[in-house]
Amino acid sequence: MRSPAGIAGRKGTLARDMERKPQLEKSALHELLHGVHGEEPVGLEPIAGGFWSSAFTYRVADARFVLRLGHSDEGYRIDQQAAAYAIDGVPIPEIIEIGAVDDLKFAISRHHVGHFVETRPVEEAAAVGESLEALLKTLRRVRPDSVVDWYSPATSVATWADWLRRSVDPTRVSWREELARHRDADAVFRECIRRIDETLPHCPERRDWVHGDLLHQNLLVGEAGRGVTGVFSWKCSARGDFLYDVAWCTFWSAWHPVIEAADMWNRMTRVSETDALDLDDAPIRHHCYELQIAASHFGWYVRTDDAENLERAVERAAMILKRGPLPMPATGSP
């Protein structure tokens, strides 16, 4: 997970991000890449990457690649596993090398061209919505495994409900004591947990492939928002309920006007003869997931000392608590 603040578009964002992230001298980067490819890399330039990792694009001959540097290779190895399930409609970059340099970990993957979906102008909302809808429907057809933590079958998380509660369990999360110092946030968090516990029994033990971290520089679309061209960062993914990714879009829509205008709730809950059973208790399930996303990010913002987005997330969660579950779309809604 990462803060939605600082997404590409604000002047100086990339420079500030790179100051926080692990770095190597340019000569060391060239040496590393020459050792991997056997040729000198050309056009090595920094690009927006994950919250804790730095990323660079470059080319060797006619092929383009992305280098990521971080302090852990866990996420890289999960992405490598996910790439084995890449199919038409779910374009996951192939990772060609994972290794270590100095005290850092690195991954090299194929470069995918596109635009971060949340940065598209609101005028492209219809195309963005169609692209997201196609992606989420395709993910429902991918069956990497039957266990919840598909990339780590030995985990103790046995059920979808366990997975949902793990990141917000007040008795386990390390940031709970710090959050308690923020009186308003703490009160909303406690109400979120109460409502999650109330709605969890309505959440079925589905095994759809859930990305769990769409947006925030993890999803590329083509020109004018048409078509998904790259899906990154699968370390938050699970096998569960496809409505979780819908809730991800609706919760963060307050930060991203194009996602709000794409209206993913109404898009993904239009009832047809083939998916009506999939939508049993859909409003309650979606409500539970929005609150779980909110509550877990209270912890993220406390840990990253992001007071601005903590306040926004608390306000958003309070609104969702007051609003309650969203209504199902009217029959025949576009």
Render pLDDT for 176-233 as a digit per residue (tens, 0 to 9): 999 999 999 999 999 999 999 999 999 999 999 999 999 989 999 999 999 999 999 9
**In the prediction, which pLDDT does 141 show?**
84
**In the prediction, which pLDDT does 8 show?**
32
DSSP 216-252: SSSEEE-GGG-SEEEE---TT-EEE-THHHHHHHHHH
**In the prediction, which pLDDT does 274 show?**
59
Please tell me the pTM assigned to this model: 0.91
Residue 145 pLDDT grade (very low, low, confident, very high; cuts 50, 70, 90): confident
331 pLDDT more than 70: no
| Mean residue pLDDT across the chain | 90
The domains located in the chain, with CATH, are: 13-110 (3.30.200.20), 115-323 (3.90.1200.10)
Q: Write phi, then psi, for 241 (nearest 5 degrees).
A: -105, 125
Tally of CB atoms within 10 A around 299: 20
Residue 270 pLDDT grade (very low, low, confident, very high; cuts 50, 70, 90): confident
94 pLDDT more than 70: yes
Residue 124 pLDDT grade (very low, low, confident, very high; cuts 50, 70, 90): very high
Q: Which two tokens stand for residue 45?
A: 């330039």
**In the prediction, which pLDDT does 15 show?**
44
Contact assessment for residue 91 and residue 80, using Cβ atoms and an 8 Å cutoff: no
**In the prediction, which pLDDT does 7 show?**
33
Beta strand spans in 88-236 (E): 95-101, 104-110, 115-116, 208-210, 219-221, 228-231
CA distance 129 to 139: 15
Q: Which residue has the higher pLDDT, 143 or 299?
A: 299
294 pLDDT more than 80: yes
The DSSP bridge pattern shows strands 238-240 and 208-210 to be: antiparallel
**In the prediction, which pLDDT does 146 show?**
80
CA distance 238 to 147: 8
Residue 89 pLDDT grade (very low, low, confident, very high; cuts 50, 70, 90): very high
**Rounded (10°) angle between helices 282-303 and 183-199:** 150
How large is the average pLDDT for residues 122-131? 98
Q: Which two tokens stand for residue 37?
A: 């490819």
How large is the average pLDDT for residues 254-259? 97
Residue 18 pLDDT grade (very low, low, confident, very high; cuts 50, 70, 90): very low
Residues in the chain: 334
Tally of CB atoms within 10 A around 114: 16
Q: C-alpha angle with apex 192: 188 to 197, nearest 5 degrees?
A: 150
